[in-house]
């Protein structure tokens, strides 16, 4: 970021511009102890982190209980064991699962391909596992948002006590309502995840109380890219021109392969070919599934799935663009807070309170954007596999290539953030291991 005269004035501005500092800095502001030029408000703000996510705690597993991780390989092994007449497993002990899988020839990919396309007893676990993986990252995202709002609420109360915060009690009440809503949302997400995890374990032939966590390694690309964006916000020399490169690190959405054609890419390039692609897919499905009384049902499902996948792909690309826009808006809001007064039209101290409320709105939109990215990517992968099953095809050569479709392509590993001299703030919102499940909604469709 170029050092402009306005920036130079800002660097020498009074200590009160540290409106989003951590608790120790807030205390220093009140007593007048801290001295020196203020740091960048975004750097201080994004240094307030909720800490690493404990996946065992999210799953509600007691500390003393040993747990196992539900990977893609284990999920499909369990699904195949159950479909081939295997009895229920009390837990996910690797030795027991390996012995059961060996007896039932689970590792035979050729046989799996046949079961996948024709065996009605086989229940594909991909949709459930993808949904659970996305929900864990969504909980991580919601927890981060709630922690930020928690700290901002304290800052707004500080402003309300001051003489020039430009904030009313009504503004603070509105913000507190937003904070309480975020806490309720986090609690609901955790309870709903546990409810779905138990249902998935049962569907895979495990006991609902089996101590199982979900493997998040396949979605590492999303975690790392979100972390890169947070580090970008915290960089006082951040430049807008690097946002496009950051957004490009998000996982690619993929395509649908039918007879060697990437059909979604072809539809995107030539929209008038959509009906041609739909007709081709229907013919393949009817040939592999057999013509009969389900003729109309098969055609309807295939057409709906291809159109839906095409829309998801377009929507995902738009959300990538929205990631950049949301970052620009938040960066601008930060600049509004730290900008020194420049006259009647400028943003002086009397406008900092409303600007902080605006920052909270930006954070909420960023959180929603990340949630939609995860939902679109994971639902696309699950729906694509459901389409392949309707078509009666499985365009993968072996287990390695099959599992590869479920992994978001990771970028470089994100280095650990530098240690700051000030102590970090512990999360104000610990996860509750005994959160009750929400009341089931009969209208909610299973993902």
**Confidence grade of residue 433 (pLDDT, cut at 50, 70, 90):** very low
Q: Kindly give, in sequence order, each residue whose CB lies less than 8 Å from that of residue 394, ignoring residues fewer than 6 positions away.
A: 113, 116, 117, 388, 402
What tokens were used for 192?
Answer: 């709903």
pLDDT in tens, 44-53: 566 666 667 7
Residue with tokens 């747990």: 67
Q: Kindly give, in sequence order, each residue whose CB lies less than 8 Å from that of residue 215, ignoring residues fewer than 6 positions away.
A: 69, 70, 71, 72, 133
What tokens were used for 103?
Answer: 């007896």
Sign of CA dihedral 7, 11, 16, 18: positive
DSSP secondary structure, 249-269, as one string: TSPP----EETTEEHHHHHHH
What tokens were used for 127?
Answer: 């949709």
What is the C-alpha to C-alpha distance for residues 135 and 137, in angstroms, rounded to an integer?
Answer: 5
What tokens were used for 132?
Answer: 């659970």
pLDDT of residue 384: 96
Residue with tokens 């395509």: 255
With contact defined as beta carbons under 8 Å apart, do 91 and 210 qualify?
yes
What tokens were used for 333?
Answer: 């809001």
pLDDT in tens, 376-422: 999 999 999 999 999 999 999 999 999 988 888 754 433 333 333 33
Residue with tokens 């590993």: 413
What tokens were used for 272?
Answer: 């008038």
Q: Where are the domains of the chain?
A: 5-86+102-404
pLDDT in tens, 197-252: 999 999 999 999 999 999 999 998 898 999 888 888 878 788 888 888 888 889 98
Residue with tokens 């999210």: 58
pLDDT in tens, 61-100: 999 999 999 999 999 999 999 888 877 788 788 888 888 8
- How open is the CA angle 406-410-414, to the nearest 5 degrees? 145
- How open is the CA angle 371-373-379, to the nearest 5 degrees? 95
pLDDT in tens, 344-388: 544 445 556 677 777 888 888 899 999 999 999 999 999 999 999
Residue 28 has pLDDT above 80, yes or no: no
Q: Would you give the DSSP letter of residue 162?
A: S
pLDDT of residue 442: 41
Q: Is 69 helix (H, G, I), strand (E, B) or coil?
A: strand
Q: Would you give the DSSP letter of residue 89?
A: B
Alpha-carbon dihedral 165, 167, 168, 171, rounded to 10 degrees: -160
Q: Kindly give, in sequence order, each residue whose CB lies less than 8 Å from that of residue 193, ignoring residues fewer than 6 positions away.
A: 58, 59, 132, 135, 136, 139
Question: In the chain, what are the helix, strand and coil shares in percent, each to the nearest 5?
Answer: 60, 5, 35
What is the C-alpha to C-alpha distance for residues 288 and 387, in angstroms, rounded to an integer?
Answer: 13
Q: CA nearest 331: which of 430, 235, 217, 207?
A: 235
pLDDT of residue 183: 92
pLDDT in tens, 103-114: 888 889 999 998
- Provide the mean pLDDT of the chain: 77
Residue 21 has pLDDT above 50, yes or no: no
φ, ψ of residue 410 to 5 degrees: the values are -80, 150
pLDDT of residue 405: 87
pLDDT of residue 436: 39
How would you write 181-244 as a 3-class SS string? HHHHHHHHHHHHHHHHHHHHHHHCCECCCCCEEECCHHHHHHHHHHHHHHHHHHCCCCCHHHHH
What is the C-alpha to C-alpha distance for residues 23 and 29, in angstroms, rounded to an integer?
Answer: 10
What is the C-alpha to C-alpha distance for residues 107 and 76, in angstroms, rounded to an integer?
Answer: 10
Residue with tokens 């792909």: 313
Provide the CATH number for the domain formed by 5-86+102-404 in this structure: 1.20.1600
């Amino acid at each position: 970021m170029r050092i402009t005269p306005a920036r130079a004035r800002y660097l020498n501005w009074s200590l009160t511009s540290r409106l989003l500092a951590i608790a120790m800095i807030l205390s220093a502001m009140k007593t007048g102890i801290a001295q020196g030029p203020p740091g960048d408000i975004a750097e201080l703000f994004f240094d307030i982190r909720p800490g690493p996510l404990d996946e065992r705690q999210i799953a509600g597993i007691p500390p003393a209980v040993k747990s196992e991780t539900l990977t893609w390989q284990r999920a499909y092994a369990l699904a195949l064991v159950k479909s081939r007449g295997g009895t229920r497993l009390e837990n996910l002990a690797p030795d027991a699962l390996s012995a059961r899988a060996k007896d039932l020839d689970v590792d035979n990919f050729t046989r799996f391909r046949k079961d996948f396309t024709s065996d009605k007893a086989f229940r594909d676990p991909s949709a459930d596992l993808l949904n659970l993986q996305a929900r864990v990252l969504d909980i991580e995202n919601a927890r981060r948002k709630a922690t930020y709002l928690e700290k901002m609420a304290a800052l707004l109360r500080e402003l309300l006590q001051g003489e020039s915060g430009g904030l009313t009690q009504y503004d603070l009440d509105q913000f507190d309502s937003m904070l309480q809503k975020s806490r309720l949302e986090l609690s609901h997400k955790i309870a709903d995840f546990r409810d779905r995890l138990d249902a998935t374990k049962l569907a895979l032939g495990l006991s609902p109380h089996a101590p199982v966590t979900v493997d998040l390694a396949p979605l590492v690309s999303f975690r790392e890219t979100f972390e890169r964006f947070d580090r970008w916000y915290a960089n006082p020399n951040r430049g807008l021109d690097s946002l496009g490169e950051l957004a490009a690190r998000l996982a690619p959405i993929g395509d649908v392969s039918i007879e060697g054609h990437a059909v979604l890419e072809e539809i995107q390039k030539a929209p008038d070919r959509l009906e041609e692609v739909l007709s081709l897919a229907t013919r393949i499905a009817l040939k592999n599934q057999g013509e009969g009384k389900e003729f109309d049902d098969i055609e309807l499902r295939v057409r709906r799935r291809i159109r839906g996948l095409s829309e998801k792909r377009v929507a995902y690309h738009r959300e990538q663009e929205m990631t950049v826009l949301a970052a620009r808006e938040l960066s601008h809001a930060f600049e509004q807070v730290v900008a020194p007064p420049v006259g009647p039209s400028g943003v002086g101290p009397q406008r900092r309170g409303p600007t902080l409320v605006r920052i909270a709105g930006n954070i909420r939109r960023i959180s929603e954007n990340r949630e939609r990215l995860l939902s679109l990517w994971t639902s696309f992968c699950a729906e694509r596999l459901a389409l392949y099953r309707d078509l009666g095809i499985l365009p993968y050569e072996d287990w390695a290539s099959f599992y590869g479709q479920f992994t978001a392509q990771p970028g470089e590993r994100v280095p650990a953030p530098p240690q700051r001299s000030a102590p970090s703030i512990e999360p104000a919102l610990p996860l509750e291991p005994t959160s009750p499940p929400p009341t089931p909604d009969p209208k909610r469709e299973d993902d």
